[in-house]
Amino acid sequence: MQLLTRRGKKKYDIVQGDSAVADIITIESLQYDLNSIEAATNNFADGNRLGEGGFGVVYKGRFTNGQEIAVKRFWTRS
C-alpha cells in the first residue's frame, strides 16, 4: 500500500508498506462515542471552552483514564 502525504506547498512524501497501514489504524482508533466525549467535557460546559472558529466551538476535556482532549463541536449551520 502506498500513500502520499503533503509536506509544505506542492511537495509530497511517499509512505509505503506497513507504516501507511499502521497510520490508518491509529487514526481510526481515535474515534470515540458521543457519550464519552460529553462526559469528558462535562457536557460541553462553558468552563471548558477554549475558543471558537469558523465552524464551531472548541472544548477541553479529560477522559477517565486521564487523557486530555480538545473537541470541536460543529455548529448545525456548518
Which amino acids are annotated as binding site for ATP, given as ranges?
Answer: 72
- Residues annotated within the binding site are 72
CA distance 37 to 59: 10
DSSP letter for each residue of 14-43: EEETHHHHHHHHHHHTT---HHHHHHHTTT
